């Protein structure tokens, strides 16, 4: 008797991730403690990051050498930049206090304080001239930063994060950029 072939789980496409997010957010939260925060202003863009392994938690980031953190940031920037082409043609960075809703879709709920959205949010930020010069001098590479938000400080950004369910092997990070207040 032959053994069954191993089950292959393929990563969902960006469109499939967006569809899953739409369907999930249209219904009630899966758990009573999930607090969904409505967007403020007008939604300007949305994007996904997958595999979710790119969205490192605080504990995972602490264990990485500095060069590897930069590599992860470059991979995320290369993945999300094409999803934000239409936004990047507008007037940037966004002024005021824009809002970002960051939702982690996975089969297991993370700790509330994991800060899994740190690197994707940093990639959306403007890098100042001193940071760009220092990075060019030390690595020869340009600094990351799509220039969409000014900074990720609470005074400059209303960041709301939470968890929603996605089947095992189909995890992704979902982000919405709103004009805010």
Q: Where are the domains of the chain?
A: 14-178
DSSP state of 91: S
pLDDT attached to residue 122: 93
pLDDT attached to residue 129: 46
Containing 74, the helix (H) or strand (E) segment is helix 66-80
Kindly report the backbone phi and psi dihedral angles of residue 157, in degrees, each rounded to the nearest multiple of 5, phi listed first.
Answer: -150, 135
Pairing of the two strands 158-165 and 172-178? unpaired
Residue 22 CA to residue 20 CA, distance in Å, equals: 5
Query: Which of the residues in the chain have pLDDT under 70?
Result: 1-11, 88-90, 128-144
Give the pTM: 0.84
pLDDT attached to residue 181: 83
């Amino acid at each position: 008797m032959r053994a069954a072939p191993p089950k292959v789980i393929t990563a969902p496409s960006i469109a499939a991730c967006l569809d899953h997010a739409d369907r999930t957010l249209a219904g009630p939260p899966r758990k009573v403690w999930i607090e969904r925060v409505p967007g403020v202003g007008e939604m300007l863009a949305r994007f996904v990051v997958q595999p979710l392994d790119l969205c490192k938690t605080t504990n995972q980031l602490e264990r990485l050498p500095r060069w590897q953190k930069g590599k992860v940031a470059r991979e995320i920037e290369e993945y999300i930049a094409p999803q934000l082409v239409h936004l990047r043609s507008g007037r940037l960075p966004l002024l005021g206090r824009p809002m970002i809703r960051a939702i982690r879709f996975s089969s297991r709920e993370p700790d509330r304080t994991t800060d899994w959205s740190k690197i994707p949010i940093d990639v959306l930020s403007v890098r100042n001239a001193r940071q760009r010069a220092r990075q060019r001098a030390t690595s020869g590479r340009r600094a990351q930063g799509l220039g969409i938000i000014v900074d990720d400080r609470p005074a400059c950004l209303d960041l709301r994060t939470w968890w929603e369910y996605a089947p095992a092997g189909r995890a992704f990070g979902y982000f919405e950029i709103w004009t805010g207040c």
